[in-house]
Amino acid sequence: MQYQGGTAPSTATGQASLSLIDGRTGQSYSLSIQEGAIRAAELRNIKVSEDDFGLMSYDPAFANTAACRSAITYIDGDRSVLDYRGYPIEQIAEHATHLEVACLLLKGELPAAAQLQQFIAEVTAAGAPPDGVRKLFEAMNPLVHPMAMLMAGLAALGGEFPKSAQVENPEQRWSDILRLLAYTPILAGWAYRRRLGLPFVEPDPALSYAGNILRMLKGEAGKPYRPDPKLERALDVLLILHADHEQNCSTSTVRGVGSSRVDPYSAVAAGVAALYGPLHGGANQAVLEMLEEVGSVANVAAFVQSCKDGHRRLMGFGHRVYKSYDPRAAIITRLAEQVFEVTGQNPKIRIARELEKIALNDPYFIKRKLYPNVDFYSGCIYEAMGFDVKMFTVFFALGRMCGWLAHWDEMIRDPEQKIARPRQIYTGPARRDYVRLEQR
């Protein structure tokens, strides 16, 4: 689905190819074009002499580099398209549940009812993390950011299950995938309650995935908990919207770390680290802190000006791929209204809406194709549901866990993939001899 212009143009040979001439040698080359890309390795054939290393492509932050072939998620950033295994996010968010989406991303097809029940039963049967990890959370400083707690907990799980290092074994991979889907919400609950000094709450197998997350964060140990169905569904939709997003920073990190054949717990712990950053998943926390700082609708114009003057970024705006409205942000704004029917409107939403209105009509943002992304409104919902701002990125990680695992599994199974090891353009000093200390 790379080429949208009908039948791709082809040369006389019937093969699409790129012909180029090396101005240094006058030599001409033909690079084959497949699925909208050339193979970077073919550039190495372009040399000025036999012992020349050959050409590389230079692409800081991999802005225009396909590091893999993937069948999981498709994004068209110019047309606000986001499809999970071919299904439009709008339809998925309206009709599916998060574990159904996890099954779709992991297996490639929407599960039939019996398959979905089997999958849910397998996740539930994975149980709870080992006691050693629980004690780790009980011992952690309650002031530690819950993303740091989550990272530590996931890394520790890798050590608790040494067989998880057998990543080439599909049965082992599947058992670790189920554990991570089951354990991550429990770790999130432990982090949330450790920070509040509250006893941990065990999951209730009778509740849905989202219902259990609400129970383990907001419930009381040993007591029944019935989540508000509207809030339960809103959280489930938020988990779905965050489930996957092709080769974003954290997913690429999981793929890269996983390519060394380390266990999946360590690979997703690295993914949590990448997601934690304010330019990535940490933006949902940064948006709420920004709205807090703006303080009122009256201050919005001045704040937008400070962004245009380059003094700060409008957090929750802009995207490397979407140069149009993030389809997830559109769904979240509608979801916010449903949540506010239960919780009462979060006053910060008015500041957010005014920021969006001004920004979408300002040449600075229009010229740079900056639109609200998935993080712009999600925090207003989480805050209205009574969660502290530091938990927002943890919710992002809870949704994204199934996407990370689907990509990790796809990478392990891909015969073309090897350990990730990019090259560089060296800009340091030419080779030189060591100078003894007394001679410096």
Contact residue for ligand SDX among 107, 134, 320, 323 (CB under 6 A) = 320
For residue 421, the surrounding DSSP H or E stretch is: none
d(CA 101, CA 120): 12
Contact residue for ligand SDX among 80, 164, 248, 266 (CB under 6 A) = 248
CB of 102 to ligand SDX, least distance (A): 16
Q: Pick the catalytic residue: 83, 236, 326, 375?
A: 375
For the question of residue 375 being annotated catalytic, the response is yes
d(CA 153, CA 349): 33
Contact residue for ligand SDX among 85, 245, 348, 390 (CB under 6 A) = 245
- Strands 73-76, 37-38: pairing is unpaired
Our finding on whether 407 is near ligand SDX (CB under 6 A) is no
CB of 317 to ligand SDX, least distance (A): 4
Our finding on whether 323 is near ligand SDX (CB under 6 A) is no
Helices in 315-391 by DSSP H: which ranges? 327-343, 348-360, 363-367, 375-384
Our finding on whether 279 is near ligand SDX (CB under 6 A) is yes
Nearer to ligand SDX by Cβ, of 31 and 235: the residue is 235
d(CA 389, CA 87): 31
Map residue 311 onto helix, strand or coil: coil
CA-closest candidate to residue 423, choices 50, 9, 42, 60: 60
Our finding on whether 273 is near ligand SDX (CB under 6 A) is no
The full DSSP string for 50-96 is TT--------GGGTT------SSEEEETTTTEEEETTEEHHHHHHH-
Q: Pick the catalytic residue: 242, 245, 319, 407?
A: 319
For the question of residue 204 being annotated catalytic, the response is no
b/e string for 280-296 if b means 16 or more Cβ within 10 A? bbbbbbbbbebbeebee
Q: Residue 31's beta-bridge partner residues?
A: 18
Helices in 61-203 by DSSP H: which ranges? 89-95, 98-107, 113-125, 131-139, 146-160, 170-196
For residue 42, the surrounding DSSP H or E stretch is: none
d(CA 201, CA 204): 9
Touching ligand SDX, residues 22-61 (CB under 6 A): none
Nearer to ligand SDX by Cβ, of 203 and 318: the residue is 318
Nearer to ligand SDX by Cβ, of 136 and 359: the residue is 359
Q: Pick the catalytic residue: 76, 145, 204, 280?
A: 280
Contact residue for ligand SDX among 190, 209, 317, 395 (CB under 6 A) = 317
Nearer to ligand SDX by Cβ, of 22 and 289: the residue is 289
Contact residue for ligand SDX among 263, 375, 383, 409 (CB under 6 A) = 375
Our finding on whether 318 is near ligand SDX (CB under 6 A) is yes
Piece in contact with ligand SDX (CB under 6 A), picked from 12-20, 129-137, 274-282, 412-420: 274-282
For the question of residue 145 being annotated catalytic, the response is no
Piece in contact with ligand SDX (CB under 6 A), picked from 86-94, 192-200, 289-297, 306-314: 306-314
> Cβ neighbours of residue 240 under 8 Å, at least 6 residues apart?
89, 92, 93, 96, 97, 98, 101, 399
CB of 312 to ligand SDX, least distance (A): 8
CB atoms within 10 A of CB 428: 6
Q: Residue 32's beta-bridge partner residues?
A: 17
Piece in contact with ligand SDX (CB under 6 A), picked from 66-74, 131-139, 317-325, 421-429: 317-325
Our finding on whether 217 is near ligand SDX (CB under 6 A) is no
Q: Which residue is nearest to ligand SDX (CB)?
A: 318
Contact residue for ligand SDX among 373, 379, 405, 410 (CB under 6 A) = 373
Q: Interface with ligand SDX by CB under 6 A: which residues?
A: 245, 248, 279-281, 283, 307, 313-321, 368, 370, 373-375
Q: Which residues are catalytic?
A: 280, 319, 375
